[in-house]
Structure 1
């Protein structure tokens, strides 16, 4: 029976509880009281140096980052692959929705509510961050157009992750009734996902502990939202060979996520038929033809014979599983894959996010540097430094897509003149990664392009 370190009020923890219930898996539940500092005790930090919940320990194998745990449990304990398909295109859609939950929908909750709830000096509601919630729900509503489930026509891990998030919005009194596809999906998900009752119990516990102070003024903060309805088609899939590729890649050279995909393609010997540069400053991502392909209007976007896919790390996994000659970059072994997933989610939700939170307001909104956000960069690098202790690569004995994703992020910090040398393990790994990763020169060229934002 795996040990599960959690708190019931945590949305990421609740997604795992529901997944375990669906798999018929019993967990040895161990509560971690964050307010009491249980996560900082030496015995817990030894298990998880990032000292976060949820954390899973399965016969000595320790894993954190909730979405990596979801995938690991489904692959190890699932009786079939229905919750997390083996088919590369179907899996890519599930991965996309999971990364969408982490980086967009759940993150919009964090941006808006957390400063009001958890910072030492409670901050007032920020209307700009409220708009991010509206944008996230609009995008989710569009993704659900014509679909009963989050990633197609059947229940998958994406539904579990998103249900824990959307139910947290509901208990926070956010009105998403304006999004009919979300409402339809949500009502069905509550009925068909095992463990919904425990999830809702956790939501109410969260409300009791934290939300009382801000819900009273909620109605004063509600802004007008609008709905975008576009169809998002699922696709059948087949394993392809590099010589039969017909792919379009939409990107911007300075973008770290775009550069990570480019290096991955180089590593597996794939050349895109077309590389179309998207000028985000000129609004190319909002053109109707682009929105039809990617209603989230983000870069990078991959169009592989009609399959449109975005969220860079989902694209990286898809490329390797569809076109790589072997599985070295993303092993099929469940535990190895789980650790790589953990690192990808760390890159997305912690390391690269710390860059965006600190530097982007200075670059694009001309705001002054925020020293509190700079501390989050230092914390993220501290975690990465610990992860790389005694290791040549981020995981295992060879380069993986975890290294490639992290390299794109760390090189962006480098060009921003963040002092990486203070972190000896990161510095050592970085020098090696630059030498062994195919496409490094293209990545660095993109970094220098991005550097122009700082120079200006």
Structure 2
């Protein structure tokens, strides 16, 4: 019965097993287990590997998981596998075991966690974790240094000092190949100082061609896809309004109106957020149609909502928040009269949102199940109310259940980026709460003076 190899080629140990089988002419059936689709969690795969990890093999009635154990088994069970992969010599075999044991808690721990937390996590439905990435990078760089100083310190091309690779070389090199997914700058920063490691990777690749490159094609394709995505990313340049940065001569060159946001795309400058968001949807490929539909009628409805936004919701929200909370932070006095007028506009706007655009079964303003640029623009407007004290915010928003649900739906559709961008508001809210608490404590302190 043909050997079955359960693998996802995005998994570095899976690739090591596949390359080994192909190089050594082992007849096998590759059964794809797509981790991104959670196929490893299926009952069918659990019957193969109760730990629900790839790779795993089935050889007749024998089942085995854990890539190092699989490589040792394949080298021992299948005739024709060259001795250099897993030598019969006891001392050389023990040295391979030593490297493979070290791999688990060092190189693998560093490389896998670093790539996951800088690139792969969103593809698996997980958030990026910068702190975990920083810790993993330290382990990764330490591991690469040890590989150079301990196993590649002689004249040999491979870890055991010989002229041919072992299963340890293949396993560790497939691990490091995961770094292909990084942008060129990060990959060079990490691997650039380790010349012997780079030569060893190249030697292992050459010794296992063409199978090595064929099995790793999935990485090269994903790298291209990620590079294209990164090329569409923007450099965020902070303009601190509280410090008057928007009034600088440098920013005036970008936007003579001295307002944020503004963009520079090549030699093209543009200001006004609605115009910017419409331009971005039109200028950059790959943006989903629901944001700014090609359908002329749906697009016109979005334009209508956004025109209304300027003189209604924006007018009410901004003026209310500035005149009740934010004014002093931008060098302006609070103005209760202006706040009262703005509150009326804000309430009227919230009522219109519910009665005109959120009056159907759809979750968003156009009545659909996915947000448009109008939803994003106006929900970000309403998020400014986060800086109010909770009692005041609740007084304003709680009567509008549909609006609250719409805010939550837009947040959910754009997370984790929505939360990350609004962290500054949550921090400001906490700061204002602390200030209000100190003022309240001061006003309730008993007087130390008494009448005589």
- TM-based fold match above 0.5: no
Larger Rg: 2
TM-score scaled to structure 1, two decimals?
A: 0.44
Q: Which has the higher contact order (CA 8 A, sep 6+)?
A: 1
Greater fraction helix: 2
TM-score (norm: length of structure 2): 0.45
